[in-house]
Amino acid sequence: MEEPAININLKIPKDADGILNYIHQVVSALQERIALDEAIVRNVKLILVELVTNSIKHSNDDNALIELSVAHPTLTIQKVDKGLQIEFAEDSHKIPFVDVNKTVMVSFSETKKHHIKILDKYQFKFLDAYKEGITIDYMPEHFGLYIITLASDSFVYQHDPKLQENRFIVNLKLRD
């Protein structure tokens, strides 16, 4: 018999002082529902720290939250907030994208690039340059986004312009 899906929704703290307690609360709620090995717990903590820090730094949404769901064998962590879409530097591709299914480099400033795959005009996937065979000799700016990319199996950003909603969607494969 298939296990029922697990869903946890917790509001993100408004300042950095609440990050540690929040991470413990989320991980405890998750571990009450499913057994996780140490490597997964470590990656979940890294991802949560970066998503929460991103929210505190870049979102003015008092109702921003983290949604966790488990549909074995995948744990999905989503940060959902209201606000403006991700902005890239002037010389980068822009949302809405036109080059769907294309791998491109984007930048959040005038230096160093992130590799992304455009999924549709408002959605893209962060790519791990090493896994994708893209040669890089530097760590990108916005290092937190790169940490999430490395700690996960998949990391996707999605913007809904009608709802003015951002979703950072992270997937991790659970080990048996």
Please tell me the predicted confidence (pLDDT) of residue 118. Answer: 93
Contact call for residues 65 and 31 (beta carbons, < 8 A): no
Q: Which CATH number describes the domain made up of 6-72? A: 3.30.565.10
Q: What are the distances in angstroms from CA 145 to CA 8, 21, 32, 81?
A: 22, 22, 28, 16
Taking the CB of residue 110, how many other CB atoms lie within 10 A of it? 10
Rounded Cα–Cα distance for residues 144 and 51 (Å): 8
Sign of CA dihedral 79, 69, 127, 157: negative
Q: What is the pLDDT along the chain (176 residues), one digit of tens a residue?
A: 455 567 888 889 988 899 999 999 999 999 998 889 999 999 999 999 999 988 888 888 888 999 999 888 899 999 999 877 888 887 778 899 988 999 888 887 666 677 889 999 999 998 876 665 544 444 444 678 888 998 999 999 999 999 999 999 999 998 75
Please tell me the predicted confidence (pLDDT) of residue 135. Answer: 47
